[in-house]
Amino acid sequence: MIMMIGLKNFIVISAAFLFLFIGCNRVGAQQAEYRKISAEEAYLMMMSEDDFIILDVRTEEEYVEQRIEGAILIPDTQIRLRAQRVIPDKYRLIFVYCRSGVRSAASARILVSLGYVNVYDMGGIIDWNYGTVSGL
């Protein structure tokens, strides 16, 4: 009888710890995801922040033709290979854009899968009304 009470207590205590452990992990392990914002929201954030990266994920030809001033280029086809070398700080604020928003969304998802936690997909340069530059 004493052995059964001890075993029941052991099971109850073990179950309680298991539920507590699972619950704590769900709270602390929030899944990282990128956030989709408008060009206007991105511009306003840029005006209030000091340290951020504007990431152009188009081709080099598109980048040279027209880009947001200060943007760095990593074509979407090279994000997995180059992002960690070019942007080593995974907590850095990153604004991602392309031409229309398709490549920026895919690239933002890849950045999050690589561990970046402060990623904003601002869509396409076609929606950017705040000035651009061209050339190298």
On whether the CB atoms of residues 125 and 97 are closer than 8 A, the answer is: yes
CA distance 99 to 67: 10
CA distance 32 to 113: 8
Residue 102: which residues within 8 A CB-CB, separation 6 or more? none
Q: Is 98 a catalytic residue?
A: yes
Among 42, 83, 98, 112, the active-site one is 98
Residue 6: which residues within 8 A CB-CB, separation 6 or more? none
On whether the CB atoms of residues 63 and 136 are closer than 8 A, the answer is: no
Find tokens 């947001």 and name the residue: 68
Q: Catalytic residue numbers?
A: 98
